Amino acid sequence: MQIANCYQILQATQHALPADARSARAAEAQAVSPPFTSQQGEISEEMSTVSEKQGCLSILLPFLRPKGKSVAEVLPYRLRDDFLSPAEFSFYKVLSSRLGARFVVQSKVRLADIFFVSRPNENVSYFNKIAQRHLDFLVCDATTMKPLLGIELDDTSHQRDSRRERDKFVERVFQAAQLPLLRFPVQREYNPREIDEQIAPLLKDKVVSSGVSQTASALTPSNNAVPLCPKCGIPMVVRTVKQGEHQGKQFYGCPNYPRCREVKPIPFQKAG
Ligand SMILES: [Zn+2]
């Protein structure tokens, strides 16, 4: 009976409106009430009752749309005017002006986009701890986008106990992953020299060329045992170079690739 009721209403609506206006009118009928003029008063009244009670209109609507046309759903998203707070923006401008073209600054970066969790199946809770947290600024190598330095701006909220606990945890995350983290107090204006003094030692010699990282090449693998990834602490796997000059050559790679790109040579490997 409900379906039959809907069908009658929709037939009546179709009859009353030109084809192009049908879907748009129907959408209005759902969004605004009461939607129709006195001529269609009966229909509108019945329609709103039906849609409120059963919502069957929304079920049948897709079948009544002209082909290739869809009802534009009005989404509630609006552009924020405060993507960066005045203090953040002020800091950002000074920081990027000091870094030059070798580095880029990213703002509001999710920790889970900077770090990954070793042995993810065992460590779901550790992933959850970083899934919703953001870092204020991340300095990356402009050529490789490798993260080099994290920066947090501390406002007065950082003095609250809950916030302090969060800050401590974030510091431990950075330590574990061996990424330096700097904190600057929130200020209306920033002294470029003060920023320089703090970031320069941490970014010195930090621009790396792509390819094998220092840690991987510096550590010599033990004779026959499968080596552990120096970053993740898990056994590496044998991989084969798929293309290019070294095609066919084998090496140890991390199972967490591409999140971890640590590699090690396989000792005493025959050529070819
Ligand atoms: Zn690894």
Distance of CA 255 from the midpoint of ligand 1 (Å): 7
pLDDT attached to residue 111? 98
Would you say residue 27 has pLDDT above 50?
no
3-state SS string over 205-258?
A: CCCCCCCCCHHHHHCCCCCCCCCECCCCCCECEEEECCCCCCCCCEEEECCCCC
Percent of the chain as helix, strand, coil, to the nearest 5: 45, 15, 40
pLDDT attached to residue 62? 54
pLDDT attached to residue 59? 57
Answer with the residue of higher pLDDT: 86 or 24: 86
Give this prediction's pTM. 0.62
Distance of CA 216 from the midpoint of ligand 1 (Å): 10
pLDDT in tens, 94-141: 999 999 889 999 999 999 999 999 888 899 999 999 999 999 999 999
Distance of CA 40 from the midpoint of ligand 1 (Å): 68
Q: What are the start-end ranges of the E strands in the chain?
A: 103-110, 134-141, 147-154, 181-185, 237-240, 250-253, 263-265
Band of pLDDT at residue 64, cut at 50, 70 and 90: low
Percentage of the residues of the chain whose pLDDT score is greater than 70: 66
Distance of CA 42 from the midpoint of ligand 1 (Å): 69
pLDDT in tens, 238-271: 999 989 998 999 999 998 898 898 999 988 755 4
Distance of CA 182 from the midpoint of ligand 1 (Å): 25
Distance of CA 118 from the midpoint of ligand 1 (Å): 8
Distance of CA 258 from the midpoint of ligand 1 (Å): 9
Distance of CA 116 from the midpoint of ligand 1 (Å): 10
Distance of CA 63 from the midpoint of ligand 1 (Å): 52
Write out the residues surrounding ion ligand 1, Cβ under 5 A: 229, 231-232, 254, 256, 260, 262
